[in-house]
Amino acid sequence: MPKRPLTTPTPHPNSKTACCFCGRQGHGTRARTAIRRTQCPAFGKTCQSCGRPNHTSQMCWQTTEQESAIQEVVSDMTEGTLPHQTWDQTSKTWVQRRSPPQPTLNVVVSTHRTDFQTHGQTLRREQRNIATRALADTGCQSCLAGPTLMRDLDLRAQNLTPTSLTMRPPSRNHLPIMGAALTRIRAADTDKETRQMVYFSPIATKLYLSMSACSDLGLINLGFPLCPPAPLAQIRDRQINKAAPPKETLWQQEAPGPAHHRPGRDRQTASK
């Protein structure tokens, strides 16, 4: 008995509609397997979104369902949006009002050659003073700045001290750190000064003052965030396990207050 000759499967009658597996026209929306095997470009391929075979990521049903669910949630949230409300002490009620601006202040940031020599670094200039705006961020455990301040201070990559400290802001897992520099930060209005190791990140857009810097500059109470401020005895109990600063370190000797970021202790993890 002679074998029947192999014939090309006839395309789906509704061939002008897009295929739900590859998105192309010409072989129907849901063609038979024999047609898809020869005419559907997605047949035999693996989806990059869900890992299942025979369809592309652009036509993935799982991705579409997830996006639909997200859009549904967003729509439900935006339909009944409420402007920002603040409590008015005078009228004893909630009133529509904009959020207060970010707490910024004028500061003068300076670098000194003697400070850099503490860790074997060098500076081309003896001293450099830069006036800038800083954001008082009590939730930041270390001072952070970006390339703009680094350029204004005439710092190069070779001037920065390598560090193992990592920062974890809310929006990403880790913040890239180029290095750190010993600085002196003075409040322009009060002339109070703090000495801080500032960490430089390529994605930072401003100078962030840490909680310790805010305390040294008199922006917050010594016992922050306790309310009322903690007694001095309780504050001393917090610091009882801190190591004494080495006498031979110029940075520690010249600092007016407790030393921050002591050498060998920069392995702490700061959250931003």
pLDDT tens per residue, range 194-248: 999 999 988 888 999 999 999 999 998 877 877 666 555 555 555 555 544 544 4
**DSSP bridge pairs for 181:** 198
In a domain, 95, yes or no: no
* C-alpha to C-alpha distance for 245 and 249, rounded to whole angstroms: 8
Asked if residues 54 and 21 have their Cβ atoms less than 8 Å apart, the reply is yes
Count of domains forming the chain: 2
In a domain, 38, yes or no: yes
Lowest mean pLDDT among 117-126, 160-169, 211-220, 236-245: 236-245
* C-alpha to C-alpha distance for 152 and 10, rounded to whole angstroms: 72
Q: Are residues 131 and 236 in the same domain?
A: yes
Q: For residues 239-262, b (16+ Cβ closer than 10 Å) or e, as one string?
A: eeeeeeeeeeeebbeebeeebbbb
Q: Where are the beta strands (DSSP E) in 76-214?
A: 85-88, 93-96, 104-112, 127-136, 143-145, 167-168, 179-187, 193-200, 207-209
**DSSP bridge pairs for 207:** 134
Model-level pTM greater than 0.85?
no
Structural domain ending residue among the three candidates 30, 49, 71 = 71
pLDDT band per the 50, 70, 90 thresholds, residue 268: very low
Q: What residue type is assigned to position 142 of the chain? A: S
Count how many Cα atoms sit within 13 Å of the Cα of residue 102 in the half-sphere of its side chain: 13
* C-alpha to C-alpha distance for 219 and 212, rounded to whole angstroms: 10
Q: Taking residues 153-162, report their average pLDDT.
A: 87
pLDDT score, position 264: 44
Give Cβ neighbours of residue 240 (< 8 Å, ≥ 6 apart): none
pLDDT score, position 174: 73
Q: Are residues 47 and 138 in the same domain?
A: no
In a domain, 99, yes or no: no
Lowest mean pLDDT among 4-8, 176-180, 194-198: 4-8
- Residue range(s) defining the domain that contains residue 133: 104-271
pLDDT band per the 50, 70, 90 thresholds, residue 54: confident
pLDDT above 90 covers a percentage of the chain that reads 22
The per-residue pLDDT of the chain, averaged, comes to 76
Q: Are residues 38 and 132 in the same domain?
A: no
Select from 174, 146, 142 the least CA-distant residue to 265.
Answer: 142
Q: Taking residues 96-113, report their average pLDDT.
A: 90
Q: Are residues 115 and 59 in the same domain?
A: no
In a domain, 91, yes or no: no
Q: Taking residues 100-124, report their average pLDDT.
A: 87
Between 182 and 81, the more confident residue is 182
Q: Is the pLDDT of residue 4 over 70?
A: no
* C-alpha to C-alpha distance for 221 and 240, rounded to whole angstroms: 19
Q: Are residues 61 and 143 in the same domain?
A: no
Q: Taking residues 142-153, report their average pLDDT.
A: 92
pLDDT band per the 50, 70, 90 thresholds, residue 272: very low
In a domain, 154, yes or no: yes
